[in-house]
Amino acid sequence: MCGIVGYIGQREAEPILVEGLRRLEYRGYDSAGLATLSGAELHLRKQAGRIADLVRHLRDRPAAGCLGISHTRWATHGPATDRNAHPHVAGNGSIAIVHNGVIENYTNLKRQLQADGVVFATDTDTEVIAHLIDQHLQDDLVEAVRQVLPLLKGTYGLAVVSSRQPDVLVGARLGSPLVVGIGADEHLLASDPAALLGHTRNVVYLQDHQMCVLRADGWDLLDANHTRVAAAVQRIDWAPADADKGPYEHYMLKEIYEQPEALENAMRGRLADADASAHFGGLNLNARQLRRAERFVFTACGTSWHAALVGEYLFEELARIPVEVEYASEFRYRNAPMDRNTIVLAITQSGETADTLAALRESKRKGHHTLALCNVVGSTIAREADGGVYLHAGPEIGVASTKAFSNQVCVLAMLALYLGRMGHLSSIQGLRMLKEMRALPNAVRRALGCHDDVRRIAAKYQHVRNMLYLGRQYLFPVALEGALKLKEISYIHAEGYPAAEMKHGPIALVDENTPSVFLINAGGVVDKVLSNLEEIKARGGPVIAIAPEGDDELANQLHDRADDVLFVPQVPEYLQPLVSVAPLQLLAYHMALLRDCDVDKPRNLAKSVTVE
């Protein structure tokens, strides 16, 4: 959610901080601010609204200094106002702090501070931390922060500076990500490695209960006992250009069109003809352990949950292993009975989603082997899972996930093949699947060729207030995902259902102003779906059909029955989600554009949800 960027070095901090915040705009925010130190003088600048508003403010009031911290806030405590924007200060303006996360006991701490005579200037939980540090600060900012951290209940990613010690930047982490950027006579601190691109690609990821102490000429990592700990310096495998929009108007459109390449990257080096199977290097489970698995539990949130639903179909059909799909936000608090030989698979783009991380930790606590599907190398979930698979989708900046969803489904298909080959799948079946998977990126490229037709359909329906998305079997989760995309960025109410369930309630919504998007299977239920489509048409509802090409009889039926038809390449049924989702992503994109919505930064949403 919120974004943190800090800098200490030889250069002016302000432009570096602003550039870093811009790289984190995708995370979702409603105000922005920064604080810099020039000698013993602290300069505070903050503004409700967008980073562009802060930049205009800085033109009139520049913030000098080679040390600084900055923040984009997503409001939790108090409305989005100038005074509630970060950084927050204490000690007569000598201490500045930025904070991601939620301090659950801030009310009690605030009451105690007020009893001591402290006057609060904001509604936030973060200001409590600033005043606590001020109370404990004597000569050593690091020691003051260390003493305050045990008083805090909740989650935090902190960056703190003080004019009383103007040569040090202190960071601390519990449940909210922080990464140190290692440079030459300069160091950076950020909540996301994307903020560091262009300055360094060498990073160190903080773990929970760790602090970092940054100086221009060095850095230290400390544990809760103030003891230095060793840390491996890792290298970001993204180039700065990967996080730029390039020729595209929006990140979302760029990422939709990056899906074929992202799928190639996900499969690269993992498809093995010699074994007629897929190979994975990081599962940390041998074949004997995997064969003992009697059940998988997939846990995820949002778009990742929809990918998990596709994975349920894949695992149960191809690997013959039972799967349960759980919302991480519910699973973390349930006490569901699980067999000893159950593997828990957490699915996440960011690797920092708070609910998914909590579900993973609870599963480990109960003794279950945990795996992760994750896109961000070095993220918390990637580090804490017993094993896992990286998606290799590259940086995904748009809040509405597109290429990460496709790569999640692709990796789940490869895992299903891998497990299936350990059981009943023959080598002939495995080789056929490898061939089909290798052809998939080109099929997705062809599916994106419907762009102009989708734009026309979006113009036709841009003013509707409700839409239904309907599919069966592998395409039911895609219906859910298509509806979510429309809701996220165009603010049109949309619901996804199994097509046969439509008559059990949702059909009451159907009228001439409620379009229905039908996802037509290539498999054995196509006649059933067409029957459901007829039920919508009989009640005057407009129909948009998305169907596989190459079947003339089906095409004729759809042209007679649907108001608009989009054809996608014919692929095996288990891969249909990956070609059918592309026009749904484009439809949401164009509906949002036509309704003048902010495609990449939809209201109230954040890319990485690190609070509960």
User: At 151, which CATH number?
Assistant: 3.60.20.10
Judge whether 410 counts as a catalytic residue: no
pLDDT of residue 238: 67
- DSSP SS3 for 338: coil
Give the pLDDT confidence of 157-203 residue by residue, as tens digits. 999 999 999 999 999 999 888 999 999 999 999 998 888 888 998 99
Distance CA 210, CA 205 (A): 10
Answer yes or no: do 215 and 320 share one domain. no
Q: Could you tell me if residue 610 is inside a domain?
A: no
Q: Could you tell me if residue 309 is inside a domain?
A: yes
User: At 578, which CATH number?
Assistant: 3.40.50.10490
pLDDT of residue 331: 87
Q: Could you tell me if residue 342 is inside a domain?
A: yes
Give the pLDDT confidence of 518-533 residue by residue, as tens digits. 898 877 778 788 878 8
Answer yes or no: do 155 and 259 share one domain. no
Q: Considering the chain, what is the average pLDDT of its residues?
A: 90
Residue 612 binned pLDDT confidence (cut-offs 50, 70, 90): low
Distance CA 571, CA 592 (A): 29
Q: Could you tell me if residue 607 is inside a domain?
A: no
pLDDT of residue 353: 86
Question: Who wins on pLDDT, 394 or 428?
Answer: 428
Answer yes or no: do 154 and 293 share one domain. no
Domain edge (last residue) among 438, 467, 482: 438
Answer yes or no: do 72 and 88 share one domain. yes
pLDDT of residue 60: 92
Judge whether 607 counts as a catalytic residue: yes
pLDDT of residue 241: 61
Domains held by the chain: number: 3
H-helix or E-strand spanning residue 566: strand 564-568
Residue 223 scores a pLDDT above 60: yes
Q: Could you tell me if residue 46 is inside a domain?
A: yes
pLDDT of residue 528: 81
Residue 610 scores a pLDDT above 60: no
Answer yes or no: do 414 and 465 share one domain. no
- CA distances to 322, 379, 385, 430 from 289, rounded to whole Å, are 16, 26, 16, 21
R_g (Cα) of the chain, nearest Å: 26
Structural domain that includes position 483: 448-599
Tell me, letter by letter, the H, E, C secondary structure of 519-562.
Answer: ECCCCCCHHHHHHHHHHHHCCCCCEEEEEECCCHHHHHHHHHHC
The full length of the chain comes to 612
Say what the pTM is. Answer: 0.80
Answer yes or no: do 391 and 425 share one domain. yes
Answer yes or no: do 473 and 422 share one domain. no
Residue 26 scores a pLDDT above 80: no
pLDDT of residue 1: 56
Residue 483 scores a pLDDT above 90: yes
Answer yes or no: do 211 and 166 share one domain. yes
Give the pLDDT confidence of 283-317 residue by residue, as tens digits. 888 888 888 888 999 999 999 999 999 999 999 99
Give the pLDDT confidence of 444-459 residue by residue, as tens digits. 999 999 999 999 999 9
Mean pLDDT, to the nearest integer, of 453-480? Answer: 94
Catalytic residue among 110, 403, 601, 607: 607
Measured between alpha carbons, how far apart are the two ends of the chain, in Å?
11
Q: Could you tell me if residue 606 is inside a domain?
A: no
How much of the chain exceeds pLDDT 70, in percent?
Answer: 97
Answer yes or no: do 496 and 594 share one domain. yes
Q: What are phi and psi of 499, to 5 degrees?
A: -55, -35
Answer yes or no: do 268 and 400 share one domain. yes
Domain edge (last residue) among 212, 243, 274: 243
Residue 551 scores a pLDDT above 70: yes
Query: In the beta sheet, which residues pair with residue 388?
Result: 372
H-helix or E-strand spanning residue 98: strand 95-100
Q: Could you tell me if residue 611 is inside a domain?
A: no
CA geometry: angle at 552 spanning 549 and 557, to 5°? 100
pLDDT of residue 606: 61
Catalytic residue among 2, 66, 212, 410: 2
pLDDT of residue 534: 78
Answer yes or no: do 283 and 399 share one domain. yes
Give the pLDDT confidence of 243-289 residue by residue, as tens digits. 678 899 999 999 999 999 999 999 999 999 999 999 998 888 888 88
Domain edge (last residue) among 243, 273, 300: 243
Answer yes or no: do 363 and 338 share one domain. yes
Q: Could you tell me if residue 65 is inside a domain?
A: yes
